[in-house]
């Protein structure tokens, strides 16, 4: 029974970490899009 609780806890931790990574990636892409010029200006 303890193994099932451990597996559930690990799955919860992994899901929470995945959400955190997604949020950080989204935030980083937003800041990068705000600071970098559009791609069309780099390639005329």
The Cα 38–Cα 41 span in angstroms is 6
As a three-state string, the secondary structure of 1-44 is CHHHHHHHHHHHHHHHHHHHHHHHHHHHHHHHHHHCCCHHHHCC
Q: How confident is the model at residue 39 (pLDDT cuts 50, 70, 90)?
A: low
> Rounded to an integer, what distance in angstroms lies between the CA atom of residue 9 and that of residue 2?
10
Q: What is the pTM of this model?
A: 0.40
pLDDT at 42 over 60: no
Task: Write down the pLDDT at residue 37.
Answer: 62
Q: How do residues 1-36 score in pLDDT, each as one tens digit? A: 678 888 888 888 888 888 888 888 888 887 776 666
């Amino acid at each position: 029974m303890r193994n099932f609780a451990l597996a559930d806890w690990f799955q919860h931790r992994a899901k929470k970490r995945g959400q955190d990574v997604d949020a950080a990636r989204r935030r980083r892409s937003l800041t990068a899009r705000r600071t970098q010029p559009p791609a069309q200006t780099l390639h005329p």
